[in-house]
Amino acid sequence: MVSKNKKIKIFDTTLRDGEQSPGATMNVSEKILIARQLACMGVDIIEAGFAFSSEGDFEAIKTISQEVEGPTICSLARAKPGDVDVAWKALSGGENVRIHTFISTSDIHLKYQFRLTREEALIRAVEAVSQAKSYLQDVEFSPMDATRTDESYLCEVLEAVIAAGATTVNIPDTVGYTSPEEFFRLIQAIRKRVPNIDQAIISVHCHDDLGLAVANSLSAIMAGAGQVECAINGIGERAGNTSLEEVVMALRIRQDFYGSDTDVVSEEITKTSRLVSKITGMSVQPNKAIVGANAFSHEAGIHQDGLLKEKTTYEIISPESVGAGKTSIVLGKHSGRHAFKTRLEELGYRPNEKDLNKAFERLKQLADQKKEIFDEDLEALISEEMGRPVERYRLVSLHAESGSGMKPTATVELSVDDTLLKKTGHGDGVVDAAYQTIAQITETKSHLCAYIVKAITGGTDAMGEVSVTIEESGRRVTGHGADTDIIIASVCAYLSALNQLAAGETRARKGQQ
């Protein structure tokens, strides 16, 4: 089938504007890792940095332009001969390369910051584009602070830079000032008033100071823009840039409305988001669209009931389509009986109506006291109602020691089926020592798949939460533990996972009988 959709180019600036987020500095090898993942995700252009700004940026642009295949690799350059020259030096070994040069055009910037007249700025813009064009074909020009620039002058500058060879003209909303309707009209005006505009692609670059970057970019697409500049997780200067994942998924999900799409492989989005978050240290807010931890979690009973009957009732994007695993039904104070029963069945329980109702009442009480309800909480509730033992393993005491020049040691005492067992063991750290000792006492054959620590509150006395995933004979379970002492939280998480495996074995044995 031939698609009627217009192809929108995705210009990723995570490595340039994204890196301008306070604290998000990346080293050369980190930038290369991200660039490779962006290429794998199918972006069209990667702005790998600002070559003149630092040796690190120069190196990153040079390496990425020579080693990363697929996207066009771009360097930013002020409209200054030295900048354009260095950008070209960084890019010259690459095959698909672009120079992106810029100068401010708003009267506010020209008067107070650059002390240039409009005429001087126009000459600098044309000279920079001509210089870049003498090195390579693909040249982008940005009139910085375009949305606060006099419209007639903006159109004059755009016409001149296109005549000088610019193949993309980018319209930056540098301070996140515009609104969707106003930006739509500006892009339309540019298309009408710049006589040679058909010789260049119109790009947009929006900042999120008023929370409108994505809306403004989508509005510009409706008005005829062919390229969107954006960053993973929406990172960037101040409040950030247009979020790549949001624009890409809005176009994909609402093709009926926008009539446009991109070449982004959406299944790679979550992986890319996590990589950028890990490298920059900038965590993603849980309720962030597309890539937030809660983006595919449903808690309200009425939503859960609808979802369990038919996914499309409350889910417009499937988590699988962005590589985010599966829809999650979170059991909490707002959940309904339908979701509770379904989850219990997934965990292998088939309670009768009476036990189910009693356990459901207790779930509501528990949810009033506890922020998160885990599977083991549900197992504990239902097991008690059904008269089954819950915990095979219980921590009685723990003593852990470590320090320079000594082997980390842990002495663990457990109650195993109500018998006390105590052992001492060593490891690569105290957590490892405790885990090895527990493994010896419980004689578990499981292996550790994941160990994640997170601070629930701030400060060095923070409440720490540990999640541990273990696997045995193809059965994978996750246990959680929370304590101000991270070693105790780790041990509780491991025991909770072992208890789940043990409970599963008991159920399996009963099922065979």
Binding site for ligand KIV (CB under 6 A): 17, 76, 102, 142, 144, 170, 172, 174, 205, 207
Q: Which amino acid is at 362?
A: R
DSSP track, 69-107: -SSEEEEEEESSHHHHHHHHHHHTT-SSEEEEEEEE-SH
Residues touching Zn ion, count (CB under 5 A): 1
Judged by CB, which is closer to Zn ion: 17, or 465?
Answer: 17
Strands (DSSP E) found in 391-503:
393-401, 409-416, 419-426, 447-455, 464-472, 475-483
**Nearest approach, Cβ of 173 to Zn ion (angstroms)?**
9
Q: CA–CA separation, 431 vs 409, rounded Å?
A: 9
- Given ligand KIV, Zn ion, none, residue 303, with its beta carbon under 5 to 8 Å by kind, binds none
List the Cα angle 288/294/298 in 5-degree steps: 130
Judged by CB, which is closer to ligand KIV: 154, or 398?
Answer: 154
**Nearest approach, Cβ of 205 to Zn ion (angstroms)?**
6
**Nearest approach, Cβ of 398 to ligand KIV (angstroms)?**
53
Is 17 among the residues that bind Zn ion (CB under 5 A)?
Answer: yes
Task: Give yes or no for a contact between 373 and 356, defined as CB atoms under 8 angstroms apart.
Answer: no
**Nearest approach, Cβ of 347 to ligand KIV (angstroms)?**
50
Nearest Cα residue to 67 out of 40, 87, 93, 38: 93
Judged by CB, which is closer to ligand KIV: 172, or 408?
Answer: 172
Enumerate residues 6+ apart whose C-beta is below 8 A from 489.
Answer: 453, 464, 465, 466, 481, 482, 483
* Structure tokens belonging to residue 154: 């903006």
- Given ligand KIV, Zn ion, none, residue 37, with its beta carbon under 5 to 8 Å by kind, binds none
**Nearest approach, Cβ of 50 to ligand KIV (angstroms)?**
9
Mask for 314-343, x = binds Zn ion (CB under 5 A)? ------------------------------
Classify 392 as helix, strand or coil. Answer: coil
Q: CA–CA separation, 436 vs 296, rounded Å?
A: 36
Element spanning 152, H or E: helix 151-163
Q: Select the span of 11-19, 411-419, 443-451, 463-471 touching Zn ion (CB under 5 A).
A: 11-19
**Nearest approach, Cβ of 205 to ligand KIV (angstroms)?**
5
Judged by CB, which is closer to Zn ion: 228, or 414?
Answer: 228
Q: Which amino acid is at 401?
A: E
Enumerate residues 6+ apart whose C-beta is below 8 A from 337.
Answer: 301, 356, 357, 360
Q: CA–CA separation, 11 vs 203, rounded Å?
A: 9
Q: Select the span of 12-20, 68-76, 288-296, 361-369 touching Zn ion (CB under 5 A).
A: 12-20
Judged by CB, which is closer to Zn ion: 17, or 138?
Answer: 17
Judged by CB, which is closer to ligand KIV: 172, or 332?
Answer: 172
Q: Select the span of 14-22, 106-114, 258-266, 304-312 touching Zn ion (CB under 5 A).
A: 14-22
- Given ligand KIV, Zn ion, none, residue 360, with its beta carbon under 5 to 8 Å by kind, binds none
**Nearest approach, Cβ of 38 to ligand KIV (angstroms)?**
18
Q: Which amino acid is at 365?
A: Q
**Nearest approach, Cβ of 317 to Zn ion (angstroms)?**
27
Q: How many CB atoms lie within 10 A of CB 201?
A: 18
Judged by CB, which is closer to Zn ion: 17, or 145?
Answer: 17
Task: Give yes or no for a contact between 461 and 446, defined as CB atoms under 8 angstroms apart.
Answer: no
Strand partners, 102: 78, 142
- In the window 223-252, what residues touch Zn ion (CB under 5 A)? none
Judged by CB, which is closer to ligand KIV: 170, or 467?
Answer: 170
Q: How many CA within 13 A on the CB side of residue 395?
A: 21
Judged by CB, which is closer to ligand KIV: 65, or 170?
Answer: 170
Q: Which amino acid is at 264?
A: V
Strand partners, 447: 471
Judged by CB, which is closer to ligand KIV: 234, or 481?
Answer: 234
**Nearest approach, Cβ of 206 to ligand KIV (angstroms)?**
8
**Nearest approach, Cβ of 154 to ligand KIV (angstroms)?**
13
Backbone angles phi, psi at 409, to 5 degrees: -130, 145
| Chain contacts with Zn ion (rule: CB under 5 A) | 17
